[in-house]
């Protein structure tokens, strides 16, 4: 009798286990979502796994884990103890992974351990692709000119398989300013692109760096494109030149007269001529306004100023058709003894010595003749 009871108990247990295994077989992974869809090296992503109990009885789940030898799972033990999954219900498991690996497709394993009913294993494909956002210069001037505004157009393209967000472009560079301090592009779908223009004004030869920052999921990334700026005169730029210069000193100030000729291929607008520091412009011609000067055209000019030096810088200032201001400086030798020049000479040492000798000699002779009886 006792033996019969043991056999019945064993049969009951086997029947229970078989019933539990039947229930576990009804649990399946129904959804896997990765954000971002494709990682870059070093990125962190979330993997969301949804399991559904399609059976008619509840299933006891012991734990859920994500395991991989290459990818790092940041919350391994988040689901060490789960509980029951009711009939017809779903349960979501979210894991954070970091891809400190090279490009490729990895398959971390999702384990769902059932209490007394084996486990569910499911491989999740994870793509790692480090291709960055592409930035290229679409157009730029043939040559940059000092203090002249120029337009640089960029093309931003997303060669990745997933969408990128929060894309913004910032221009930086020493000695260059931009009208647009930055440009927000927003998001770019896979294989999408956007065109952005910047108006920049360089003051010196430099490297203009466009920094593109963007997000792949929660991961911030940057790309850069460098536009070298080499200042040079424009090929067709107006080029006012001074010649036939004459300097004359006139009672306390200088009068410089001459011709200004446009040797360039474009019209020079708003041409003005004046003496620069250390010279001090004075009336009647502090500034001489020539106006527009066509190519190969010339005009006479006249400026008046005070100066203590032997030469003075004469500045020719003009604008191009866009209103960019240009200037060129010509040192004009004054070569005249103005009031300041004449009185500013220092007495040579030889002159002082000669005077001393003469005073002693003449004084000695006079004294000698007067003492002589």
Partner 1 sequence: MGKNALIDLILDPQSFFAEKMTREESLKVPALILLAMGIVSGIGAAIVSSVTVQMLPPEAASMGGLIAGIGFVAAIISVFILWWAIPSVLFFLLSRVFSGTGSIKRTFEFVAYGMIPQIASGIISTGIFYVYFTSLRLSPITDPMLIAEEMEAIMQSPMLQMATLISLLFILWSASLWIFGMQEAHRLSRRNAAITVGIPVALYIIYTVVTFWGM
Does residue 369 interact with partner 1 by CB under 8 A? Answer: yes
Site string for partner 1, 305-334 (x = CB under 8 A): -----------------------------x
Does residue 356 interact with partner 1 by CB under 8 A? Answer: no
Does residue 372 interact with partner 1 by CB under 8 A? Answer: yes
Q: How far apart are CA 281 and CA 291, in angstroms?
A: 19
Q: How far apart are CA 108 and CA 71, in angstroms?
A: 7
**How far apart, in Å, are the Cα atoms of 373 and each of 94, 104, 295, 361, 364?**
132, 125, 89, 20, 16
Q: Residue 19 corresponds to which tokens in the numbers above? A: 């019933």
4, 6, 347, 349: residue in contact with partner 1 (rule CB under 8 A): 347
Does residue 22 interact with partner 1 by CB under 8 A? Answer: no
> Cα 102 from chain centroid?
28
Tokens 């003469």, residue? 358
53, 162, 237, 249: residue in contact with partner 1 (rule CB under 8 A): 249
5, 6, 69, 251: residue in contact with partner 1 (rule CB under 8 A): 251
Nearer to partner 1, 32 or 248 (CB): 248
- Give residues with Cβ within 8 angstroms of 262, minimum separation 6: 238, 239, 240, 241, 268, 293, 294, 295, 296, 297, 298
Rounded to a whole number of angstroms, the distance between the first and last alpha carbons of the chain is 179
Residues found in the chain: 373
Q: How far apart are CA 83 and CA 60, in angstroms?
A: 6
| Min dist. Cβ of residue 365 to partner 1 (A) | 6
332 CB-contact burial (10 Å; exposed 0-12 / middle 13-18 / buried 19+): buried
| Min dist. Cβ of residue 255 to partner 1 (A) | 8
Does residue 255 interact with partner 1 by CB under 8 A? Answer: yes
Does residue 13 interact with partner 1 by CB under 8 A? Answer: no
2, 230, 348, 371: residue in contact with partner 1 (rule CB under 8 A): 348
Does residue 354 interact with partner 1 by CB under 8 A? Answer: yes
Binding segment (CB under 8 A) for partner 1, from list 36-44, 196-204, 224-232, 244-252: 244-252
- Give residues with Cβ within 8 angstroms of 270, minimum separation 6: 289, 291, 292, 317, 318, 319
Q: How far apart are CA 209 and CA 200, in angstroms?
A: 11
Does residue 69 interact with partner 1 by CB under 8 A? Answer: no
133, 196, 238, 247: residue in contact with partner 1 (rule CB under 8 A): 247
Nearer to partner 1, 14 or 361 (CB): 361
7, 343, 349, 371: residue in contact with partner 1 (rule CB under 8 A): 343
Rg (CA), the chain: 44
Angle at 132 between CA 130 and CA 135, to 5 degrees: 165
35, 76, 191, 250: residue in contact with partner 1 (rule CB under 8 A): 250
The shares of helix, strand and coil residues in the chain, as percent rounded to the nearest 5, are 15, 50, 35
Binding segment (CB under 8 A) for partner 1, from list 131-139, 211-219, 323-331, 364-372: 364-372
Does residue 283 interact with partner 1 by CB under 8 A? Answer: no
Nearer to partner 1, 230 or 346 (CB): 346
Residues making contact with partner 1 (CB under 8 A)? 246-252, 255, 334-339, 342-343, 345-348, 351-352, 354-355, 358-359, 362, 365-366, 368-370, 372
């Amino acid at each position: 009798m006792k033996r019969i009871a043991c056999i019945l108990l064993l049969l009951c247990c086997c029947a229970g286990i078989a019933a539990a295994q039947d229930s576990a077989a009804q649990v399946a992974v129904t959804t896997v979502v990765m954000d971002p869809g494709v990682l870059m090296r070093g990125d962190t992503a979330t993997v969301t796994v949804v399991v559904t109990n399609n059976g008619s009885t509840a299933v006891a789940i012991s734990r859920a884990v994500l395991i991989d030898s290459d990818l790092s799972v940041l919350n391994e033990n988040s689901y060490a103890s789960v509980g029951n999954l009711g009939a017809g219900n779903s349960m979501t498991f979210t894991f954070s992974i970091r891809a400190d690996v090279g490009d490729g497709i990895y398959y971390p394993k999702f384990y769902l351990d059932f209490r007394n009913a084996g486990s569910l294993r499911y491989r999740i494909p994870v793509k790692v692709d480090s291709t960055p956002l592409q930035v290229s210069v679409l157009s730029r001037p043939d040559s940059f000119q000092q203090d002249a505004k120029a337009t640089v157009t960029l093309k931003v393209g997303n060669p990745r398989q997933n969408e990128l967000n929060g894309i913004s472009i910032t221009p930086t560079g020493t000695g260059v300013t931009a009208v647009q301090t930055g440009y927000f592009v927003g998001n770019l779908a896979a294989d999408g692109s956007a065109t952005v223009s910047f108006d920049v004004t360089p003051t010196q030869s430099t490297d203009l760096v466009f920094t593109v920052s963007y997000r792949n999921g929660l991961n911030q990334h940057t790309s850069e494109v460098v536009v070298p700026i080499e200042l040079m005169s424009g090929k067709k730029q107006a080029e006012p030149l001074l010649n036939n210069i004459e300097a004359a000193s006139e009672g306390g100030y200088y009068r410089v007269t001459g011709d200004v000729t446009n040797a360039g291929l474009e019209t020079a607008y708003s041409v003005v001529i004046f003496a620069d520091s250390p010279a001090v412009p004075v009336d009647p011609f502090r500034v001489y306004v020539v106006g527009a000067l066509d190519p190969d055209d010339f005009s006479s000019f006249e400026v008046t100023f005070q100066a203590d030096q032997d030469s003075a810088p004469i500045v020719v200032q003009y604008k191009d058709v866009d209103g960019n201001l240009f200037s060129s400086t010509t040192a004009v030798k004054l070569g005249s003894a103005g009031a300041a020049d004449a009185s500013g000479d220092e007495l040579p040492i030889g002159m002082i010595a000669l005077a001393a000798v003469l005073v002693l000699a003449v004084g000695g002779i006079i004294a000698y003749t007067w003492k002589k009886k």
